[in-house]
């Protein structure tokens, strides 16, 4: 009886691990769109896509270390990426997703930060990455376009 | 009346005792995870990230165009693949991704930082359950657990009779427990 209980607990632990690490893992809502919008198209005309539901694809190049509440995916052009932001705790991206491919569906939104807010955001980012904060990197108010993620499939 | 009261108290004790046994596991999971995520500003409750730096003498902005360059970087770190992918956030930086490992090369400074991500196995799973990452069926289990905690709290009030019970010392201690969050909320307001 006792052995059975221990085995059940171990199996449960294994199931939890599988749920977060399997290739092709779904996070959040199932994807509904078929056509992938290139990240470059969104970045070229962000206002044109504002409020639109899009499906984007790219390699995961950064993940929120603390809460898994955002990830950056690489664009189809050099030096470009876009942030996928999800509500804290609703979707949690694992740090181990870095380098994997993500297919993400969400709505394009704009984040307008005052200088003080941009400063605070940069300080938070530096803290998260364990880096020294350099306030001179923030020069004024910032406008960032990102995707409010509703669902994502991450594959190896 | 006395017999009915005794029967009611027997049931109360039985519910409190057995529910208490059932709830031990999940209470520990939620409590340990609660402490871990409470201090999320001070440490990462899910992963241990270690960062090392090492020189990459071959690094340069022109070398990065060579498809073999990421492997040269890995060799400099004493690693060998498999490379999941590479990314250039800007012209002076190359990032190489391996499973649970990221190498960030500063092409101008010819230095790389290697970040290893290790999961904290027990805490990661405890946090996963606490923060209801699995959703679906787990939501119902967590709801039932919350109801069980309410039952445990209520039945706990009536475990003892007399001066240590809810009509004596228990009333003061229960009041203190209720007052604590109320006072804190008033102070915060």
Beta strands in chain A (DSSP E): 25-28, 53-63, 70-74, 81-85, 101-113, 142-155
Task: Give the three-class secondary structure for B98.
Answer: strand
Residue B118 near residue B28 (C-beta atoms within 8 A): no
pLDDT exceeds cutoff 50 at A20: no
Residue A75 near residue A82 (C-beta atoms within 8 A): yes
Give the distance from residue A122's alpha carbon to the nearest chain B alpha carbon, in angstroms: 15
Among A17, A61, A65, the residue with its CB nearest the CB of B87 is A61
3-state secondary structure B58-97: CCCCCHHHCCCHHHHHHHHCCCCCCCCEEEEEECCEEEEE
Chain A residues near residue B97 by CB distance under 8 angstroms: 59, 61, 98-99
State the pLDDT confidence band at A144, using cuts at 50, 70 and 90.
very high
% chain B with pLDDT above 70: 99
CB contact under 8 A, B134 and A92: no
d(CA B92, CA B144): 54
CB contact under 8 A, A61 and B97: yes
Chain CA centroid to CA A52, Å:
18
d(CA B132, CA A59): 26
Residue A102 near residue A153 (C-beta atoms within 8 A): yes
For chain A positions 83-102, those within 8 Å of chain B (CB to CB) are 89, 92, 95-96, 98-100
d(CA B29, CA B126): 5
Q: To the nearest whole number, what is the mean pLDDT of chain B?
A: 92
Render pLDDT for B80-134 as a digit per residue (tens, 0 to 9).
878 999 999 999 999 999 998 999 999 999 999 999 999 999 999 999 999 888 8
**Any residues with CB less than 8 A from the CB of B53 and at least 6 apart, and which?**
B111, B112, B113, B114
Quick one: which of B77, B52, B67, B64 has its CA closest to B107?
B64
Per-residue pLDDT, A21: 44
In this prediction, the answer to ipTM > 0.90 reads no
* Of the candidate ranges A120-129, A140-149, B51-60, B93-102, the one whose mean pLDDT is the lowest: A120-129
Tokens found for residue A130: 């364990």
State the pLDDT confidence band at B1, using cuts at 50, 70 and 90.
low
* Of the candidate ranges A121-130, A144-153, B30-39, B133-142, the one whose mean pLDDT is the lowest: A121-130
Among A16, A92, A100, the residue with its CB nearest the CB of B131 is A92
Render pLDDT for A74-105 as a digit per residue (tens, 0 to 9).
999 999 999 999 998 889 999 999 999 999 99
Residue A71 near residue A60 (C-beta atoms within 8 A): yes
Render pLDDT for A24-67 as a digit per residue (tens, 0 to 9).
899 999 999 999 999 999 999 999 999 999 999 999 999 998 88
Q: Is the pTM of this model over 0.90?
A: no
Tell me how long chain A is: 156
Per-residue pLDDT, A11: 44
Largest CA distance in chain A: 65
Interface residue of B133, B137, B138 to substitute, partner A, most A CBs within 10 Å: B133
Interface residue of A14, A63, A93, A98 to substitute, partner B, most B CBs within 10 Å: A98
Q: To the nearest whole number, what is the mean pLDDT of chain A?
A: 85
């Amino acid at each position: 009886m006792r052995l059975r209980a221990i085995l059940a607990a171990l199996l449960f632990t294994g199931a939890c691990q599988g749920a977060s690490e399997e290739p092709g893992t779904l996070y959040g809502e199932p994807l509904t769109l078929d056509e992938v919008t290139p990240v470059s198209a969104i970045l070229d005309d962000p206002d044109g896509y504002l409020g639109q539901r899009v499906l984007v694809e790219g390699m995961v190049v950064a993940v929120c270390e603390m809460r898994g509440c955002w990830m950056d995916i690489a664009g189809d052009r050099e030096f470009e990426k876009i942030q996928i932001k999800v509500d804290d705790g609703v979707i949690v991206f694992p740090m181990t997703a870095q380098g994997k491919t993500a297919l993400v569906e969400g709505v394009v939104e704009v984040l307008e930060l005052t200088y003080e807010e941009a400063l605070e955001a940069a300080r938070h980012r530096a803290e998260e990455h364990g880096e020294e904060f350099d306030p001179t990197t923030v020069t004024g108010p910032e406008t960032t376009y990102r995707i409010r993620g509703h669902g994502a499939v991450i594959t190896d | 009346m006395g017999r009915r009261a005794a029967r009611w108290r027997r049931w109360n004790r039985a519910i409190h005792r057995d529910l208490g046994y059932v709830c031990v596991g999940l209470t520990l999971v939620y409590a340990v995870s609660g402490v871990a995520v409470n201090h999320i500003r001070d440490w990462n409750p899910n992963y241990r990230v270690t960062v090392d730096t090492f020189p990459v003498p071959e690094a340069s902005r022109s070398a990065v165009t060579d498809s073999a360059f990421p492997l040269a970087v890995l060799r400099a770190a004493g690693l060998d693949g498999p490379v999941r992918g590479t990314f250039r956030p800007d012209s002076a930086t190359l990032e190489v991704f391996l499973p649970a490992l990221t190498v960030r090369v500063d092409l101008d400074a010819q230095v790389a930082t290697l970040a290893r991500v290790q999961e904290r196995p027990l805490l990661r799973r405890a946090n996963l359950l606490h923060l209801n990452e699995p959703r679906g069926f787990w939501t119902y289990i967590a709801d039932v657990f919350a109801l069980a905690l309410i039952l445990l709290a209520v039945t706990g009030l009536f475990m003892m009779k007399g001066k240590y019970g809810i009509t004596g010392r228990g009333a003061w201690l229960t009041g203190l427990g209720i007052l604590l969050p109320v006072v804190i909320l008033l102070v915060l307001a």
